[in-house]
Chain A
Amino acid sequence: MTATTESRKIVIEPVTRVEGHGKVTLLLDDESRVKQARLHIVEFRGFERFIQGRPYWELPVLVQRLCGICPVSHHLAAAKTVDRLVGGENLTPTALKMRLLMHHGQFFQSHALHFFHLSSPDLLFGFDADVAVRNVVGVAAKFPDLAVQGVMMRRYGQEVIKATAGKKIHGTGAIPGGINKNLTIEERDTLLAEMDQMLEWSQGAVKVAKDYTLANLDTLAGFGSFDSNHLSLVRQDGAYDIYDGGLRAQDAQGNIIFDHVDNQAYTEYLAEEVRDWSYMKFPFIKSLGPETGWYRVGPLARVNNADYFDTPLAEAERKEFAGVTDGKPCNVTMAYHWARMIELLHSCEKMQELLHDPDLQGEDLVVKGDRRDEAVGIIEAPRGTLFHHYRINEDDQVVMANLIVSTTSNNEPMNRAVQKVAADHISGKPEITEGMLNHVEVAIRAYDPCLSCATHAMGQMPLVVEMVGADGQLIDRKTRG
């Protein structure tokens, strides 16, 4: 593809090796400099509207249909919210630990999928390696052990979900005020039988991500990176927590913006901006305003925000991670992968801990208390903080729903990453190659956006690049499929 003297638009659609369907548009000026770069999530979800009128106890099972990759996150966020609606937020030990096990199983499988299947081709072969090799099949051919580990770790996480939710995808385990099953001895022993292997592979996965990041730190430090605020849940004592806790936000230098914010009060601290070119809103920290109040969520933000992990292996890895930036927040976009694998290791350790807990075989599954008309449930999904907010009427029907999914919180950061990579790697180049465009996708993949919340493409997902002249005429079109 050759640049013309006219200003032009390049469209990458759909972005590949991410969950779902998105596109990138790059506007180039007469000298092929990137004037504007935008990530569009071509979504219209509609869930907030069409769940209105449904009875509240359907929500954990209904809303998780947003996604087939991390439905457990929506299942549990909705369940946490509905717990409050029925006054059952103080779960029994069995219910709480079953949900935690489900959640860590979800993190484990989702992070394994993302790292091994979707992102490892870029890291193992190079961002602009031959596209025929730079894919999961290429990984399986050249690094068969790694590919098998990725598949087997994902399978293990799915088995944990099945044991706790009833099904690997779209289960029904979490119900208002509790859980509908405990873990049988047989299920426990089946899962424990593979635990040592999973722990060993998890440590290996951290090493792959860490070694890659440290070996290429000089390059990666500037790749799609920028200073940002970081938002996540943390436990009351500051520990890493993905199921419960208060909201913590800190700036790029590590100054706390707010801490231990009550989930129910999130609207006092966060707001959402609408921009005319995107279906997705742009959340921001109210006290800072939309210009500087945007923030990152997900593995990088969580590992930055947590004071410590309550499992030894992950905590040792966190310390090493934090040591690279002298304890300050890491703002390197590509460090998401390293942070993600530390989380994967932590989830593995937590699953081991939980599987040895006899509370999982308890019989006390559900609690209820005083009913409420409105509630908020916040959880950490694999991709970042997830907000569910519902209001119901006296007949138990939903009358208002607001969902802020992780990808929405990362909207501004992903756009900034796209802008920076496009400026650094495409701007002013006489010829634009597929490899150069892949750099843009690599930056997006670091965030592991869950675009499948929005659309469900069928079959192959080719990369289509169109060059459109200033007059709107199509100049050139390339398809990768």
Chain B
Amino acid sequence: MGDKITFTIDGKDIEADAGQTILEAAEAAHMYIPRLCAHPDLQPYGSCRVCTVLVDGRPQSACTQPVAAGAVVESGTDKVTEIRRQIIEMLFVEGNHYCMFCEKSGNCELQALAYRFGITAPRYPYLFPHRDLDATHPDVFIDRNRCVLCGRCVRASRDVDGKNVFQFVGRGPEKRIAFNSEANLAGTNLDVMDKAVDVCPVGAILRKREGFRIPVGRRAYDHVPIGSDIETTAAK
């Protein structure tokens, strides 16, 4: 660390610290790379692939790929945008994302990405999977219909809360979030103030009885697209 290297994103010279990820370096240069599983307080994971960039022509996840001197990175090109759009659309069709009555609507990162990418309807057929809801915990409920398997809760519980409440089970279309208890969420030591409850990018993990307290018009993405904070800083 400390050594400076130079590479390009969409033709623009970027100076970065060696060891930084492409996503971190881009953000420091006020360039927004869309992401879902990445979170500033958590270890990189590279599962959602929304942050896909082309590094010297090869697709890589920007949140896990370290910068390399002289690398040519494509992020805002039509080709990369189309890849990301398809990934986002697939995330929508493989779950049951009913924004219209979701408490997270307006604060949801997946929904905000769809708006940013101008996705009005996915091109792929909806899979309408059967997903379970667990409301047994006194203060938290999990609705797997909305889960995008980003793993933020897994990492937050393990690395920040030190509890390991969440973990993935199953493979492929059967993959889902499970708990470290015999039966249900009530059997875990999850606390309502845990980091794991806070980091869900969608409406899969929510605090109970708090729905819709923030009115329409005062939610994170009601007026500006997701990523505007990073880009707006650049304008200043």
Contacts and interface: CB of A to CB of B under 8 A. Distances in A.
A9 interface: no
How many interface residues does chain B have, given as a range? 10 to 19
A176 B216 contact: no
Contact of A57 (B100, B133, B212, B214): B212
A464 to B, nearest CB: 30
Given A172-B216, A180-B213, A55 B135 contact: yes
B216 A175 contact: no
Interface in A146-197: 165-167, 170-173, 175-176, 180-181
Interface stretch (A58-66, A285-293, A315-323, A470-478): A58-66
Contacts of A57: 103, 208-212
B100 A173 contact: no
- Give the interface centre of B208, B210, B211, B218 by most chain A CB atoms within 10 Å: B211
B216 A62 contact: no
B215 interface: yes
B170 interface: no
Given A55-B135, A173-B215, A396-B135, A86 B209 contact: yes
Contacts, number: 56
Nearest to A57: B211
A171 B216 contact: yes
Nearest to B134: A395
Contacts of B216: 165-167, 171-172
Contact of B211 (A55, A166, A395): A55
Contacts of B215: 166, 172-173, 180-181
A47 to B, nearest CB: 11
B217 A166 contact: yes
A358 interface: no
A312 interface: no
A311 interface: no
A54 B211 CA distance: 12
Interface in B160-192: none
Contacts of B135: 55, 395-397
A395 B136 contact: yes
A53 interface: yes
Contacts of A53: 133
- Give the interface centre of A54, A86, A165, A175 by most chain B CB atoms within 10 Å: A175
Contacts of B218: 181
Interface in A71-93: 86
Nearest to B222: A166
A58 B100 contact: no
A390 to B, nearest CB: 15
Nearest to B186: A395
Interface in B89-103: 100-101, 103
A58 B101 contact: yes
A143 B209 CA distance: 51
A473 to B, nearest CB: 39
A396 B100 contact: no
A216 B218 CA distance: 52
Contacts of A166: 215-217
Nearest to B213: A180
Nearest to A177: B209
How many interface residues does chain A have, given as a range? 20 to 34
A65 B213 contact: no
Interface string A455-466: 000000000000
Contacts of B209: 57, 86, 176, 396
A61 B136 contact: no
A371 B211 CA distance: 16
For the residues of B in contact with A, the DSSP-based class is loop
A166 B216 CA distance: 5
A62 B101 contact: yes
Contact of A58 (B211, B214, B217): B211
B141 interface: yes
Contacts of A366: 213
A180 B212 CA distance: 7
Interface string B195-236: 000000000000011111111111000000000000000000
B101 A65 contact: yes
Contacts of A180: 212-215
A73 B6 CA distance: 60
Contacts of A181: 215, 218
A61 B208 contact: no
A396 B100 CA distance: 20
- Give the interface centre of A54, A57, A65, A172 by most chain B CB atoms within 10 Å: A172
A424 to B, nearest CB: 44
B34 to A, nearest CB: 26
Interface in B105-147: 133, 135-136, 141
Contacts of A165: 216
B100 A65 contact: yes
B81 to A, nearest CB: 30
Interface string A88-124: 0000000000000000000000000000000000000
B101 A175 contact: no
Nearest to A179: B215
Nearest to A365: B213
- Give the interface centre of B209, B214, B215 by most chain A CB atoms within 10 Å: B215
B208 A175 contact: no
Contacts of A60: 212
Contacts of B212: 57, 60-61, 172, 175, 180
A180 B217 CA distance: 11
B211 A61 contact: yes
A369 B220 CA distance: 30
Contacts of B214: 180
A1 to B, nearest CB: 42
A170 B211 contact: no
A193 B213 CA distance: 29
B141 to A, nearest CB: 6
Contacts of B211: 55, 57-58, 61, 175-176
A57 B203 CA distance: 14
Given A61-B101, A180-B214, 17 more contacts: A55-B141, A57-B103, A57-B208, A57-B212, A58-B211, A62-B101, A65-B100, A166-B215, A166-B216, A171-B216, A172-B216, A175-B212, A175-B213, A395-B135, A395-B141, A396-B141, A397-B135
Question: 6 shortest A-B CB distances, which residue pairs?
Answer: A166-B216, A57-B211, A62-B101, A395-B135, A181-B215, A172-B212
15 contacts: A55-B208, A57-B103, A57-B211, A58-B103, A165-B216, A167-B216, A171-B216, A172-B216, A175-B211, A175-B212, A181-B215, A366-B213, A395-B141, A396-B209, A397-B135
